[in-house]
Amino acid sequence: MSNMMRAAIKPQTAANNTVFGVIVAISFCHLLNDMMQSLLPAIYPGLKTDLGLSFGQIGLVTFVYQITASILQPLIGLYADKRPVPLALPGGTLFSLAGLTVLSIAHSYGLVLVGASLLGMGSSVFHPESSRVARMAAGGRHGLAQSLFQVGGNVGQALGPLAAALVVVRWGQSSLAFFALLALLSGAVLWNIATWYRHHGLTRLKTGGHAALAIELPKGQAARGIAILLTLIFSKYVYLASLTSYFTFYLIHRFGVSVQNAQLHLFAFLAAVAVGTVAGGPLGDRFGRKYVIWFSILGALPFTLMLPYANLFWTTPLTIMIGLILASAFPAIVVFAQELVPGKVGMISGLFFGFSFGMGGLGAALLGWLADRISIEAVYQICAFLPAIGLLTAFLPNIEVGRKRP
């Protein structure tokens, strides 16, 4: 394994070469990270019973995790932009290891909160630094690198519930200690990546990482572009939260399908999200990121408007199209933002990963509250208009004029 890893990430110093070994390795670690993070909700039912927690206390556990995973990311990214710390990548896995270990033995509410915060800190270190590594290894194919990196997270999020169903539900809270061993595996891989980062990645980032931006924009115009991109992230992730969190309830309530059948529909949607994530980055490299952002946000609107009124036969194809189109947005948005603010790869990556994570969690909570009051069907009728926010793409600055596309 060690020899294979060394061969996969052998030094390459030419900034225009795409180092696929590094990108695949960091994507694999993204898979492990997001799978570990998604195990937290799996112990909620047991915690509620064993500790006598209220729904409000369970919500506070989620809040503590999300606040550490979201708010810290841009701050860590900003610090690393000024003082790169390659060993932060393997070091960050220690937080995830500690978090899962604490949660596996937590028999008091205070320890549960500590474990959740440690788990969130592990994620807050990993995302901005690993996104920076993906850009270092991109060799000019920044969209492709971000897509491959992010699809690892998509797969990890999909595997998390499966792992919870097979292991955590059967063996209980203590089984989280077994998954903590995955943090050691991730740390071993990230140690090799950190070595490449120190000796080759920093040079590549300085010599080729920002060359794609032909003209540096005025500060105000760049800030406006970042604000528009964050608004697009809001529309994308709140809508995705409506499907990832409540789609099974919607199918069961409206069409009377079984739980197993509803899960199959959800799996089809998640698979489409993974495919869309892989496709979005290379398409942005080839045709321009602004065009991909136009299509990936606004292009989903016809399908989201039809979904609340579709029968069961058409519901799955519509959600597959929505997943494919919406998921293609994030790689293009992240790379576009990195090029708006050259030299701040870590801060921008942390800001957008943290914001997307926070909007997904906040959106799920707000939509759940709304569904209790106006019905889940009405929620989908309202959310159907969220992709219309994609019209704001028209106000993004054009930074791709004259660019040589790889």
Compute the distance between CA of residue 267 and CA of residue 319 in angstroms, rounded to an integer: 11
Is 44 exposed, middle or buried (CB count within 10 Å of its CB: 0-12, 13-18, 19+)? middle
- Dihedral, 40, 364, 241, 317 alpha carbons, nearest 10: 110
Superfamily of domain 219-395, CATH level 4: MFS general substrate transporter like domains (1.20.1250.20)
pLDDT over 70 percentage in the chain = 89
Mean pLDDT (whole number) for 141-158: 83
Predicted local distance difference test score (pLDDT) of residue 255: 92
- Evaluate whether 318 touches 306 at the Cβ level (below 8 Å): yes
Predicted local distance difference test score (pLDDT) of residue 16: 63
> Does position 15 have pLDDT exceeding 60, yes or no?
no
Three-class SS state of 38? coil
pTM of the entire structure?
0.74
> Does position 78 have pLDDT exceeding 70, yes or no?
yes
Give domain limits for the chain: 2-208, 219-395
Confidence of residue 24 (pLDDT cuts 50, 70, 90): very high
Average confidence score pLDDT of the chain = 82
Most confident of 12-16, 352-356, 388-392: 388-392
For residue 42, give Cα distances in angstroms to 115, 155, 167, 214. 14, 17, 10, 47
Superfamily of domain 2-208, CATH level 4: MFS general substrate transporter like domains (1.20.1250.20)
Interval 81-91: pLDDT, tens = 888 888 889 99
Interval 277-328: pLDDT, tens = 888 778 877 888 888 888 888 889 999 999 999 999 999 999 999 999 998 8
Rounded to a whole number, what is the largest CA-CA distance in the chain? Answer: 62
DSSP string for residues in 248-314:
HHHHHHHH---HHHHHHHHHHHHHHHHHHHHHHHHHHHHH-HHHHHHHHHHTTHHHHHHGGG--HHH
Confidence of residue 383 (pLDDT cuts 50, 70, 90): very high
**Which of 14 and 351 is assigned the larger pLDDT?**
351
Predicted local distance difference test score (pLDDT) of residue 35: 86
DSSP E strands in 25-165: the ranges are none
Q: Where are the alpha helices (DSSP H) in 139-255?
A: 142-163, 169-171, 176-196, 202-208, 219-255
Predicted local distance difference test score (pLDDT) of residue 401: 47
Mean pLDDT (whole number) for 111-117: 92
Contacts of 206 (CB under 8 A, 6+ apart): none
DSSP string for residues in 117-131:
HHHHHHHHHHHHHHH
Predicted local distance difference test score (pLDDT) of residue 400: 60
Interval 329-356: pLDDT, tens = 888 888 888 888 887 888 888 888 888 8
> Does position 206 have pLDDT exceeding 70, yes or no?
no
**Which of 401 and 228 is assigned the larger pLDDT?**
228
For residue 318, give Cα distances in angstroms to 243, 258, 299, 327. 12, 20, 12, 14
> CATH topology of 2-208 equal to that of 219-395?
yes
Contacts of 404 (CB under 8 A, 6+ apart): none
Compute the distance between CA of residue 364 and CA of residue 366 in angstroms, rounded to an integer: 6
